[in-house]
Amino acid sequence: MSVFGTRYLVDTNALSRLRLQRRASNFFLTNAMIPSEVLHEASGFPDLQPLSQIEYVTTPSVLRWLVTVMASVPADDTDLVNLYLNQGGADPLMVACALDALDRETQHLDPLDWVIVTGDKAVRAKADEFGIRVLTHTQFADLIDRSES
Tell whether the model's pLDDT for residue 23 goes beyond 80.
yes
Under the phi-then-psi rule, with left for phi > 0, alpha for psi from -120 to 50, and beta for the rest, what region is 85?
Answer: alpha
Question: Which fold does the domain 6-148 belong to in CATH?
Answer: Rossmann fold (3.40.50)
pLDDT of 140 > 80? The answer is yes
Count of C-beta atoms within a 10 Å radius of residue 1: 6
Q: What is the pLDDT of residues 24-44, one digit of tens each?
A: 999 999 999 999 999 998 999
What's the CA gap between 55 and 50, in Å, rounded?
Answer: 10
Distance CA(22)–CA(144), nearest Å, equals 7
Is the pLDDT at 2 greater than 80? The verdict is: no
Evaluated on CA atoms 61, 56, 66, 94, the torsion sign reads: positive
pLDDT range class, residue 145, cuts 50, 70, 90 = very high
The model's pTM is 0.89
Does position 141 have pLDDT exceeding 60, yes or no?
yes
Are the C-beta atoms of residues 123 and 13 closer than 8 Å to each other? no
CA distance 114 to 17: 20
CA-based nearest residue to 94, from 46, 133, 138: 133
